[in-house]
Structure 1
Amino acid sequence: MALASPIFEILKNFSEDFNNPVTLTLVFDRANLEGNKKLSVFYYDEVKKDWVEVTGGKVNAGTITVQVNHFTKYAVFAVGQGATVPAPDTKPTISFSDIAGHWAKANIKQAVSSGMVSGYLDGTFKPDHTVTRAEFAVMLMNVLQPQGTEEALTFTDTAKIGSWAQKAVAQAVQAGFIKGYEDGTFRPAAEITRAEMVAMMAGALDNLVEVNAETDFADNKDIPGWAKASVALVKQAGIVQGKGDNQFAPGDHATRAEAVTVLLNLLALKRS
């Protein structure tokens, strides 16, 4: 049995199953269709820690369509006669159609395998797309996996935070990683800057490294005062490196590839 698609995590904003079936169409890779293998969609049962086959899938060109009554992690597997589903701790091969030759390919595959982030239903990862503040909060909390209750959100634009991100944002607020803007907003859909990304991560380091309030980046003067200590902290911790000519570029928007790379560095440091 072989994984024939990325693993997609699909969420909704209520806990109950659907009253009526929902049509789900997933893209798969035909390279795994050797011999007498057939394609089937599976979902991951979080309680039993096992993959469960969804019956009745209809294959059409490069996609397979099934009817489901709930959302969770889904993937397409190429199944041979007598094949068994991989054990829950098996790390299946992650394949996206748009990461070949990308500088962050290995990091992307590791991040998806760890559950930090998911790909898109069209089989892409979009590594160079920018990350919103809400999206980065979710990635960060997937890495840290905090325990306990969440802080009640009091941002003036809380209603604009998607249900898929509210828990993560609340956890980040409770932990002190997020404070929002001076006008009381969080701005969940705003593209996160490198300075903002680093400021969110810095709180997770606790006292793992000592830090000076200045950095040795060539554009140190351009780093906002509120972010300077955070930038220095993550730089000294080896989590974030500069761009060309030793520039930190604090106002540049972080991409999905950059985000998963720095978060993997954070995870490695926390585990060391």
Structure 2
Amino acid sequence: MSFSLTGLLPSTTYHARAYAVTDQATRYSSNITFTTGAGPTSPPTTPPTTPPVVVPDPDLPGAACPFMDLENHWSKPDICEAASLDIVEGVDVNRFAPNVEITRAEFAVMLARALQVSANEGESSLSFRDQESIPAWARPMIQAALAEGIIDGYPDGTFRPQQTITRIEMAAMLSKSMKWETSGKQELSFADLASIPVWAMPYVTIVSERGLVQGRGDHLFVPRGKTTRAEAGVLLLRLWHILH
């Protein structure tokens, strides 16, 4: 009896045994061993390439933080997160300048970004008497923030974009933009409470109740202290988390 096999690989040794099934029993042949010939030469088959799987670093929720001057700075985690959310930007590609005092124009732009206001790219002019001193890069966002009622100017009609913002001005701007009111359940306990102006007291209370603004050393609020870029960025990230 002869038989043929198909689908065998060249240059391969096989071990086999045949069997037959009858009405009485199943009969098996003895084991046989054979090796196939070399067969025709063919180019090796290259298996399909699977792209590597990139596993993100759990310590980096987004792209690596670009700001080299935040190394060892207390605000680094928050500022890097705020940058990934487009709330803040650096003064250049690799510098955030965390300890530099922030201007009213810079803070207004950061606040508008935190509230996800779209920039106004139109040619409409601002109504501030000193509108010419508003930097070109800040103008579209300030226009949009003004239209949304998020910011306003001084009673004399100026905005004073290059003026550094104080902590009480920051508290007032935040409270007004959110149209928040105090719950009346929390009493301020800052050591320098008496130095907070009467007009600013409700605003400071509001942002303190929501955990947005905290005191500095020795439990001082320092109402007329200047706000740094790091402090502003951290505060606006807290606001973003409250809203989202």
Question: Which interval holds the TM-score relative to the shorter structure?
Answer: 0.5 to 0.7
Distance 2:73 2:193 in 1: 29
Residues 181 and 206, structure 2, Cα contact 8 Å, conserved in 1? no
Q: Secondary structure at the match of 2:117?
A: coil
Contact 2:172/2:200 (CA < 8 Å) preserved in 1?
yes
Task: Verify: 1:269 aligned to 2:237, yes or no.
Answer: no
Query: Alpha-carbon deviation of 1:165?
Result: 1.3
Note the 1:46-65 alignment, pairs <5 A: none
Matched, 1:137 2:108: yes
- The correspondence for 2:72, drawn from 101, 113, 123, is 101
Match of 1:120 in 2: 91
CA distance in 2, matches of 1:264, 1:142: 10
- Alpha-carbon distance in 2 for matches of 1:240, 1:229: 13
Q: Give how far 1:231 is off.
A: 0.7
User: How far apart are residue 95 of structure 1 and its match?
Assistant: 2.9
Alignment check: 8 A CA contact 2:192 2:221 kept? yes
Q: How does 1:166-185 map to 2 (within 5 A)?
A: 166-185=139-158
Match of 2:132 among 159, 175, 182: 159
Q: Which residue of 2 aligns with 1:187?
A: 160
- Distance in 2 separating the partners of 1:211 and 1:260: 27
Using structure 1 for the length normalisation, give the TM-score. Answer: 0.61
| Matched-pair contact (CA < 8 Å) for 1:213–1:228 | no
Contact 2:66–2:93 (Cα < 8 Å) also in 1: no
Does 2:214 correspond to 1:230?
no
TM-score after normalising by structure 2: 0.68
Partner of 1:248 in structure 2?
A: 221
The CA deviation at 1:146 is 2.9
Q: Distance in 2 between matches of 1:212 and 1:93?
A: 41
Paired positions, count? 187
Q: What amino acid maps onto 1:118 in structure 2?
A: E
Distance (whole Å) between structure 2 residues aligned to residue 161 and residue 212 of structure 1: 39
Where structure 1 has 5 or more consecutive residues not aligned to the other structure, the ranges are 1-81, 84-89
The alpha-carbon deviation at position 118 of structure 1 amounts to: 1.4
Does the 8 A contact of 1:131 with 1:255 survive in 2? yes
Structure 1 residue 244 displacement after superposition: 1.4
* Structure (1 or 2) with the greater strand fraction: 1
Quote the offset at 1:209 in angstroms: 6.2
- Greater Rg, structure 1 or structure 2? 2
RMSD, aligned α-carbons:
2.9
Flag structure 2 segments of 5+ consecutive residues without an equivalent: 1-50, 53-60
Structure 1 residues 214 and 163, CA, compared in 2 at 3 Å: closer, same or farther? farther
For the 8 Å contact 2:119–2:143, the answer to whether it is kept is no
Letter of the structure 2 residue corresponding to residue 104 of structure 1: S
Distance 1:121 1:171 in 2: 24
Pair 269,263 (structure 1): closer, same or farther in 2 beyond 3 Å: same
Paired letter, 2:111: L
Q: CA deviation at 1:239?
A: 0.7
**Superposed CA offset, 1:234-255 (max 9, x none):** 0001111111122111111110
User: Any idea what the Cα deviations from partners look like across 1:100-157, whole Å, max 9, x if unmatched?
Assistant: 1111010111111111111233622111011000000000001102369799621110
